Amino acid sequence: MENKEKWLHKLVEIMKHLRSPDGCPWDRKQTLETLKPCIMEECAELMDAVDDQDSVGIREELGDLLMHVVLHSQIASEQGMFDLYDVAETICEKMIRRHPHVFGDDAVASAEEVPGLWEKVKAQEKPDRFESVLDGVPRNLPPIMKTIQIQKKAAKAGFEWESQYDVLHKIEEELAEVHEAIESGDSKAVDEEIGDLLFAVVCLTRFRGGRTADDLLNDATAKFSERFKLVESHFKEKELSMKDVSGIELKKTWCDAKIRLEK
């Protein structure tokens, strides 16, 4: 059987070469900070491939993520921090430590019990790490995901709505405050109130359970895109630009597209 381990070692050597003086100017220029947006993009592309059940795409996108792990490790190594093998050692130790029901004497009866055991182990690892129950949520999570995590932690501590109608009332209250802020002409206040409104809407989706705010927003965006493309196609056939037609005609065409898609 072919020794596939050689490819991981080869990837490390490729990255060292790319970061060397006779390597690639772009790779040499990168820092741990400049690569942050790239990691987010690669994760999104991997999730797209998973959604599409594209095995070739999944393999490629996992490779891109692995490349970033190696590149980050190489940059850290150059700064005397750690290298890829230190990263591997750290995660191996953590996996063993976080699975005492597999590598130790603890026992669980089902998969549902495992997260609770993980939390127990994590608390033992760093008992004084957090001052607040809200601490520990990554700052760089996508905003909706971060909001949900914060709300869940608050709810677990007892700070929770009694019913979805209470949350709905809060949304109505926040919307009224957006109106007031717009009327006042205070741009900063408008921004703040829109943020509060978004927070409340996310809270309603979380409280109801089931599909997440991300799911619902993705659905709404996909629905908008589908309708928009129909409108776009309609005006292209007439050799018109949407910028050249009246608001009334644009609205009518939009409504027509909506009716066509609902049939």
Phi, psi (deg, nearest 5) at residue 111: -65, -30
* Best CA proximity match to 72, nearest among 93, 61, 58, 87: 87
pTM over the 0.85 mark = no
Split at pLDDT 50, 70, 90, the class of 29 is very high
Tell me phi and psi for residue 161, to 5 degrees. -75, 155
pLDDT in tens, 173-199: 999 999 999 999 999 999 999 999 999
The mean per-residue pLDDT over the stretch 135-145 comes to 91
Q: Region 107-136: what's the mean pLDDT? A: 80
pLDDT reading at 128 higher than 70: no
CB of 192 closer than 8 Å to CB of 184: no
Q: Give me the chain's average pLDDT, please.
A: 93
pLDDT at 2 over 70: no
Determine contact, residues 192/200, Cβ cutoff 8 Å. no
Tell me: pLDDT of 243 over 80: yes
Dist. CA 190–CA 180, nearest whole Å: 8
Q: What is the 3-state secondary structure (H, E, C) of 211-249?
A: CCHHHHHHHHHHHHHHHHHHHHHHHHHCCCCHHHCCHHH
Per-residue confidence at 1, pLDDT binned at 50, 70, 90?
very low
**What is the pLDDT, as a whole number, of residue 118?**
80
Can you give the pLDDT at residue 232?
94
* pLDDT > 90: percent of the chain: 81
What percentage of the chain exceeds 70 in pLDDT? Answer: 98
